[in-house]
Amino acid sequence: MGKKVLIVGGVAGGASCAARLRRLDESAEIVMFEKGEYISFANCGLPYHISGEIEDREELILQTKESFYERFNVDVRLKNEVTAIDRAGKTVKVTDIENGREYTESYDTLVLSTGSSPLKPPIPGIDSEKINVLWTIPDMDVIIENLKKNNVKKAVVVGGGFIGIEMAENLTHAGVKVTIVEMLNQVMAPLDWDMAQMVHLHLVQNGVDLVLGDGVKSFEEKSGGITVNTNGGKALDADMVILAIGVRPNSKLAIDAGLEVNKRGGIIIDESLKTSDENIYAIGDVVDTIDFPTGERTMVPLAGPANKMGRMAADNIAGMKRTYRGTQGSAVAKVFSMTVANTGKNEKQLKALGKEIDKDYKVTITHPGSHAGYYPGALPLTLKMIFDKDTGKVLGAQSVGYDGVDKRIDVLATAINFGATVYDLEEIELCYAPPYSSAKDPVNMSGYYGENILSGTVDNILFTQLKDLNENQVILDVRTEGEVLDGNIEGSINIPVDELRDRLDELDKTKEYVVSCLVGQRAHVACRILMQNGFKNVRNLAGGYVSYSILSRNYSK
């Protein structure tokens, strides 16, 4: 018999580790403990079974105890909770939940894949049976039962993260009127506010009410329902509440064992995924690891990194000496008919690190079509890219749209992983045919745009910076008069780009001009005309009037 490896926790990281380790080492004794009743299930698919989009519940169960044993010869112990670690003796204490007995198990190597749990803060009334969380299959079953039993017509989702948004969509599909309450001024925190505004618009268009910038003060059960009272004084009546305000790492086991953790309780690991104890690895949601774009420490509770860590931990246990380069937070979500994706750093995160726009980083915002405009079916997407002002290195990207969003973010995630710059994005060769893309793919266009900024060809300004304009700055709209009649930026002046060369004398070269068109392309041409005719202070409004028309609205009730 080879080395004895105990794995605490299944689902993504633990199950991946066990399977990979068996493929590498047939002689190892592998025991996996899971305090729940399911070893491996598709937790990302749970909301879609609630709506019926995924019809068969069994499709969510990826492995059973029996199938895992038959395939990988792993001793899987369901409803067995590891409650303590004796690092000196290299044993763990285990509670057999079903039989109510305690026992110890020795190990040569221990892997902690204990995951995370939904936050449940001490808000008055939070223990009501009408308040549900969605994290496991049993949670899902309870929600489905409550929907049927209580004839739910109205629901409040507390929290606008990925789970909250997915629950809002699927409850809506199930015929429930949904209100999202979010303490921040936006949903989907991995996005910046300007990109989240597009999600806000789409949610409202699909019948979801938004209460943003307002937290929950209390929950109050009433006859047949529950009221959500907010700090802002709103009283939202509902038949059901879904609590989705974030997660915390399940690190009590590690803390009690004296392993090094961060302030949030995340288990600190090195590049080999080892904890402060050389015989103990930690993987998945529970760990504090490296943020790949910046080299800072971070915690990213996503299935992709958890699976990769599980495989890598197994490699290292088997003696392969692999190193984990870090997590960059690539994620994608379906929001009704829209796709939302991100990778790397956003502006909020950079600002929290002390970085400043224009000084340390720059941003491009484009509104290209998903494929060539002359081919039928092209749909708009918005692509935001953030890059280092000095080196041009790509730091992060976000996209919102209907087709091709995940494709572009996947390319940019790869670019970030390999340290690419905007200059590389100009050169990168991507597949092109009219039904799929354009000869200049949106990723290439972001590169061109970024290079124009760095080379001084044309600088830009974001909508979020417009509030800082002074009396010496003028917004110049270069769309046609007909377009301007349909809507314009307050206080702007209009000279169509095709008339600009003949009307330059109407402008004052001592002033700074923010040039705007529909999406930024005509404004770029106008900027170049102005700059080559003696205008020294000229910037293109990123995203043009399309961005302005979305960002200048309030979608919160």
Q: Show which residues are catalytic.
A: 44
Whether 114 contacts 286, CB under 8 Å = yes
Burial (CB count within 10 angstroms: exposed 0-12, middle 13-18, buried 19+), residue 555: buried
Beta bridge partner(s), residue 363: 386
Pairing status of strand 338-344 against strand 331-335: antiparallel
Whether 382 contacts 400, CB under 8 Å = yes
Q: What angle do CA 46, 48, 51 make, to 5 degrees?
A: 120
Using CA atoms, how far apart are residues 199 and 197, in angstroms rounded to an integer? 5
Reported residue count of the chain is 557
How would you write 156-185 as a 3-class SS string? Answer: EEECCCHHHHHHHHHHHHCCCEEEEEECCC
Using CA atoms, how far apart are residues 244 and 231, in angstroms rounded to an integer? 18
Beta bridge partner(s), residue 414: none
Pairing status of strand 40-41 against strand 61-63: antiparallel
Whether 138 contacts 35, CB under 8 Å = no
CA 22 to chain centroid: 32
Which residues are CB-contacts of 372 (< 8 A; sequence separation ≥ 6)?
378, 434, 435, 437, 438, 439
DSSP string, 486-538: T---TT-EE--GGGGGGGGGGS-TTSEEEEE-SSSHHHHHHHHHHHTTT---E
In sequence order, which ranges of 264-421 are alpha helices (DSSP H)? 303-317, 347-352, 405-417
Whether 493 contacts 477, CB under 8 Å = yes
**In the 8-state DSSP scheme, what is residue 266?**
P
- CA proximity to 238, closest of 131, 154, 362: 154
- CA proximity to 368, closest of 414, 421, 416, 430: 430
- CA proximity to 311, closest of 113, 54, 45, 53: 113
Whether 232 contacts 216, CB under 8 Å = no
**In the 8-state DSSP scheme, what is residue 439?**
S
Whether 219 contacts 196, CB under 8 Å = no
DSSP string, 363-390: EEEE--BSS-TTSTT--BEEEEEEEETT
